[in-house]
Amino acid sequence: MDIKNVDSTYIANTYNRFPIQLCKGNGSLVYDENGKEYIDMGSGIAVNSFGFCDEEWQNVVTAQISQIQHSSNLYYTEPCAKLAELICKKTGMSKVFFANSGAEANECAIKTARKYAAETKGSEFYTIITLKNSFHGRTLATLAATGQDVFHKDFLPLMPGFVYAQAGDTDELHRLVNENKCAAIMFECVQGEGGVIPLSQEYVDEIVKVAKENNLLVICDEVQTGNGRSGELYSYMHYGIKPDIFTTAKGLGGGLPIGAAVLGEKVQNTLTAGTHGSTFGGNPVCCAGALSILNRIDSRLLEDVKKKSEYIINSLCSAKGIESVTGLGLMLGIKTVKPASDVIKICMEGGVLCLSAKDKVRLLPALNIPWNLLEKAVSVIKTASA
Ligand SMILES: *Cc1c(COP(=O)(O)O)cnc(C)c1O
């Protein structure tokens, strides 16, 4: 049996896979089982920040693997402490909890918000306002946080304690704050899975204002938008705000599983020994990889991300068959006249791998994608959309 048959026989049916097997990658190029070459515009869903098998990252990771691959959180290890220090130094936040995925990072943020609110206001203040069309993960708590019925429907009853506000509707935000005993407001500055839709500056300002007036925590989900993806280190920085908690994962490890809940001053001591934990969290190999990734996301790289973003937007926004391009940095959604799935299929045949988000073609290329490959990919997307 070939791999596709083995996979369909033995892997749970939760994924609709594209019909190719990826065998080998190098930077922004990847090769399938027939040796066909593709330009990768998806980065494993914003994970491979510096592309496939980046040499610098690979060296750091393999060096750590030959030192200590795992220790549990019963002992100190250097990569985990250094990574937490770097995240805090770069953001002005106070402490970090390491998890292994975006959903788990959000679980930690939700637990922290509930405990903080219970201790400062009372245990009935557990409601968290999230946004309609958001995505926060697939565990039962983060599923409840996700404001999309399609993800909920087969898994009721939902965990209580979440209400959903329509992004942009400040009246609804005020109404929900008044009608519920709330702990926090949690949101993505750019809704990723929801169709790559940035929030407006006015709405984000209103969230922060309402949170301040009502003593609610502000939680930014930077799982997809974080680690340079948006053109800033974290996307909340575009809006000039400072959350009480932000979470991140995807691009942080450069291809290894790691998530982080990053805690500001207010909540830095909310979680105490025994109140939360993770066996794999802070794994030294993942942290060593993440440390090398985060160290390389400097102002020069971020400028480059912004320039590449502008180039993609300018090339595509008025092209034939394209209605709009939305997003920030190298996280872009293209609304095409043709169904997105058709455009993605034509691109794949033309040697370019794209993703989708709702009804859009979604681009999440490596932050360091070379200009010549980017230009080639954009021209294939343009032709496929026309
Ligand atoms: C992908 C994603 C998650 C979930 O991350 P996992 O690592 O798949 O658990 C949560 N929030 C946002 C915004 C995401 O894009």
Query: In this structure, what CATH number is given to the domain that contains residue 273?
Result: 3.40.640.10
> How do residues 173-203 score in pLDDT, each as one tens digit?
999 999 999 999 999 999 999 999 999 999 9
Within this chain, do residues 248 and 328 fall inside the same structural domain, yes or no?
Answer: no
Indicate if 203 and 132 belong to the same structural domain. yes
Q: Is residue 265 part of a domain?
A: yes
> Are residues 282 and 315 part of one domain?
no
Residue 112 within any structural domain of the chain: yes
Pocket test for ligand 1, best of 224, 235, 356 (most atoms within 8 A of CB): 224
d(CA 109, ligand 1 centre) in Å: 13
**Closest residue by CA, ligand 1 atom 10:** 136
- Do 104 and 214 reside in the same domain of the chain? yes
Q: How many structural domains are present in the chain?
A: 2
Neighbours of 379 (CB within 10 A): 13
Query: In the prediction, which pLDDT does 37 show?
Result: 98
Residue count (the chain): 386
| 309: phi then psi, degrees, rounded to nearest 5 | -60, -50
Starting from the edge strand earliest in sequence, which strands make up the sheet with 22-26, in order?
22-26, 29-32, 37-40, 352-353
User: Are 256 and 381 part of one and the same domain?
Assistant: no
Q: Determine the pLDDT at residue 67.
A: 98
The Å distance, Cα 59 to ligand 1 centre, comes to: 27
What is the 42 CA–ligand 1 centroid distance (Å)?
15
Give the end of a domain, one of 252, 275, 296.
296
Ligand 1 contacts (CB < 6 A) are 101-103, 106, 135-137, 188, 192-193, 221, 223-224, 249-250
Atom of ligand 1 at shortest range from CA of 142: 10
Q: Which of 261, 296, 331 is the last residue of a domain?
A: 296
Query: Is residue 131 located within the same domain as residue 192?
Result: yes
| pLDDT of the residue at 1 | 64
Three-state secondary-structure class, residue 351: coil
| Same domain, yes or no: 41 and 79 | no
Question: Does one domain contain both 12 and 125?
Answer: no
* Segments forming the whole domain that contains residue 10: 3-53+299-385
pTM of the model: 0.98
Q: Is residue 60, in this structure, part of any structural domain at all?
A: no
Q: Does residue 186 share a domain with residue 74?
A: yes
User: Which residue lies with its CA nearest to atom 5 of ligand 1?
Assistant: 102
In a domain, 138, yes or no: yes
- Asked if 90 and 140 sit in the same domain, the reply is yes
Domain match, 150 and 244 both: yes
How far from 288 is each of 278, 293, 294, CA to CA, in Å?
A: 18, 9, 10
315: CATH: 3.90.1150.10
Same domain, residue pair 264 and 346: no
Q: Does 319 map to a domain? A: yes
Give the number of the atom of ligand 1 that is nearest the alpha carbon of residue 45. Answer: 1
Could you list the pLDDT tens digit for every one of the 386 residues in the chain?
A: 699 999 999 999 999 999 999 999 999 999 999 999 999 999 999 999 999 999 999 999 999 999 999 999 999 999 999 999 999 999 999 999 999 999 999 999 999 999 999 999 999 999 999 999 999 999 999 999 999 999 999 999 999 999 999 999 999 999 999 999 999 999 999 999 999 999 999 999 999 999 999 999 999 999 999 999 999 999 999 999 999 999 999 999 999 999 999 999 999 999 999 999 999 999 999 999 999 999 999 999 999 999 999 999 999 999 999 999 999 999 999 999 999 999 999 999 999 999 999 999 999 999 999 999 999 999 999 999 99
Q: Last residue of a domain, which of 296, 326, 358?
A: 296
Ligand 1 pocket: which of 136, 139, 148, 246 to mutate (most atoms <8 Å of CB)?
A: 136
Task: Give the Cα separation of 61 and 189 in Å (integer).
Answer: 31
Distance (Å) from CA 250 to ligand 1 centroid: 7
Give the pLDDT confidence score for residue 73 in this predicted structure: 97
Q: How far is it, in rounded angstroms, from Cα 164 to Cα 360?
A: 23
